[in-house]
Amino acid sequence: MTIVATDIVRIAVVDKARGYWTNVGRRLMRDPVSVLCAVVLILIALAAIFAPYLSLADPFLGSMIRRLRPIGTPGYPLGTDELGRDMLSRLVHGGRLSLLIGLLPVVTAFVIGTTLGVSAGYVGGFVNQTIMRTVDVFYAFPSVLLAIAISGALGAGITNSLVSLTIVFIPPIVRVAESVTTSVRGLDFVNAARASGAGPLTIMRVHVLGNVLGPIFVYSTSLISVCMILAAGLSFLGLGTKPPQPEWGLMLNTLRTAIYINPWVAALPGAMIFTVSICFNLLSDGMRSAMDVRS
């Protein structure tokens, strides 16, 4: 024989057994943009989570004489809103609801959409047609309109807007899941798995899901920003959060009357929404390249 175990090609000792996710994390850490976005998001999330312990001003306490103070006013680093409440405190507290509304519908839709999409793609035939044509019905409406319609029908409130946003995000995730599953299903390694005796459930769980989860996950991350914007839109229209709850979309709505008086303060909630959504977008781009094992 030609190659014997003794004439070993020396391989760098670095590559010890490492999990897939460790590798993804390592690659992600090498991308400065992703790291920056992750840091920003983590800071905002931490601030939101620990908002009650940060010894900020009471976000609900207004003052008629200190309304619409500009940014940099002593005692009010980010100014005050139209009712004289501390903007810094309201922005930090607002993050709690805004992030929840941005994340929860996407996570729920990810679970439901992946299940439906992978089943549709793998089983095919009648099941596929039933699921996909039902999903197509939702595509008849623009997502904003759909969210508003469902929210409006269910009535205003946080729970209802969470439900409506989940429903809005299930169809696109099902589509993506179905299309990647269909393409993976035809690949040789699925046949190879069948040829070595794997049953349909094993193939679906191990080989299909293993290859499909990455792309769906990345796509879903990119939906978080859309979700935040839609949620802000719902609050803006008065369908989501109710005043005086601090929430970025709602704050943007109530402050719009002050746009000519104190435009910088009025733009702050918008800036927060913008920052968070662009960070999620860039991070999902970074994830996309980090999760591609072949790169």
Partner 1 sequence: MSVNPLSAPIVDIRDLHVRFSGERTVNALNGVDIALAQGEVLGLLGESGSGKSVTLKALLRLLPPRRTTITGSMHVAGQDVLSMDDEALENYRGGVVSMIFQEPMLALDPVYSIGDQIAEGVVRHKGVSWAQGRARALEMLEGVRIPSARRRLDAYPHEMSGGMLQRAMIALALSCSPKVLLADEPTTALDATVQIQILLLLRELQREMGMAVIFVTHDIGVAIEISDRVAVMYGGRIVETGKLRDVVKNPQHPYTRGLLASTIHGAKRGVRLETIPGAPPRLDRLPPGCSFAPRCGLADAACSQGEILAVPLGPQRNVRCIKLATNIAVPVGV
Q: Which residues bind partner 1 (CB under 8 A)?
A: 1-5, 7-9, 11, 15-18, 20, 187-189, 191-199, 202, 206-207, 210-211, 214, 293-294
Q: What is the CA radius of gyration of the chain?
A: 24
Q: How far is the CB of 45 from partner 1 (least distance, A)?
A: 29
Per-residue buried b or exposed e for 154-169, using 16+ beta carbons within 10 Å of the residue's own CB = eebebebbbbbbbbbb
Q: Smaller CB distance to partner 1: residue 149 or 192?
A: 192
Query: Judged by CB, which is closer to partner 1: 140, or 195?
Result: 195
Residue linked to tokens 């299903």:
185
How many Cα atoms occupy the beta-carbon half-sphere of 115 within 13 Å? 5
Q: Where are the beta strands (DSSP E) in 70-193?
A: none
Nearest residue to 225 via CA among 176, 175, 171, 279: 279
**Shortest distance, CB of residue 11 to partner 1, whole angstroms?**
6
The nearest distance, CB 217 to partner 1, in angstroms, is 13
How far is residue 215's CA from residue 87's CA, in Å, rounded to a whole number? 38
74 or 197: CB nearest partner 1: 197
The residue (of 273 and 291) whose beta carbon lies closer to partner 1 is 291
Nearest distance from C-beta of residue 42 to partner 1, angstroms: 27
Angle between helices 263-291 and 248-255 (to 10 degrees): 150
Least Cβ distance, residue 31 to partner 1 (angstroms) = 20
- Residue 44 CA to residue 287 CA, distance in Å, equals 20
Q: Which is nearer to partner 1, 9 or 137 (CB)?
A: 9
Taking the C-alpha atoms of residue 239 and residue 227, their distance in angstroms, rounded to an integer, is 15
Nearer to partner 1, 97 or 176 (CB): 176
| Closest distance of CB 201 from partner 1, Å | 11
